[in-house]
Amino acid sequence: MPLEILISSSCWLLGDIICVLSYCIMCQIISTSVGNIVFVSIDRYIAIGDPLHYATRITLAKVKCCICLCWLSAASCVLFYMKDELIQPGRSRSCFGECKVVTNYIMGTFDLIVNFICPVTVIIVLYMRVFVVVVSQARAMRSHTTAAALQKSGILKTKKSELKAARTLGVLVFVFLLCFCPYYCVFFAVSDEPDASSNVYTIFLFYLNSCLNPVIYTLFYPWFRKCIKLIVTLQILRPGSCETKIL
């Protein structure tokens, strides 16, 4: 957002190369944020749909691989999306002091499919399946007389936590659609060549999604708030901080 404010509200004096790199960084962050939401939905689906095998299917090594894959995939998309600007920085600039990136409809359609249609499809499909599983499990538990025993063993508490995680995912999906739809509507509504910064209001709404995601997690998860506190207060730099009890 600070970069976008600098680009859209003042004369750009940092050169064409820095201008293109700025757009690359912003696109990288947004694409990675979208990828994170997809991986969160996959994680919640496995946790609720197959809880007995969750510990074996979702391991620390796999999580690290997924994070790396998310960043590398986003970087590949950005390189493809911005290849013309990277080859010839400043090709879209019409006057001195302007930082502008113009893409064609092919690149815009590619971005729409990769960063919006595919993620939304995966998230909504998994989200709907999560609720189907939750409803079926609730009915099965009501139909058995062992509900009291399950409550004593703590299984019901676990299901409540997982249902809360599913609701959080629902809020993430709603915010994702709310922030991304206006941007793509305006992007494809322009009559001439699409400008990546054609409407500053939809751009800020576009970026706002990545800003709101950690806020949503902070509101829903106490352990996330504790982690943020440890990071902000630099307690993670202390010896033995990795053994801090979060949950």
Q: Which two tokens stand for residue 14?
A: 């940092």
% of the chain at pLDDT higher than 70:
74
Whether the predicted pLDDT of 153 surpasses 80: no
Confidence of residue 137 (pLDDT cuts 50, 70, 90): low
Whether the predicted pLDDT of 241 surpasses 80: no
What is each CA distance from 205 to 94, 115, 175, 188, 200, in whole angstroms?
A: 26, 15, 10, 16, 9
Q: Which two tokens stand for residue 134?
A: 């939750």
Confidence of residue 191 (pLDDT cuts 50, 70, 90): very low
- Greater model confidence, 166 or 11: 11
User: Once rounded to an integer, what is the mean pLDDT over residues 5-29?
Assistant: 79
231: enclosing H helix or E strand: helix 222-232
Whether the predicted pLDDT of 82 surpasses 90: no
- Three-state secondary structure call for residue 102: strand
Q: What's the pLDDT score for residue 165?
A: 63
**What architecture is the 2-212 domain classified under in CATH?**
Up-down Bundle (1.20)
Whether the CB-CB separation of 187 and 209 falls below 8 Å is answered with no
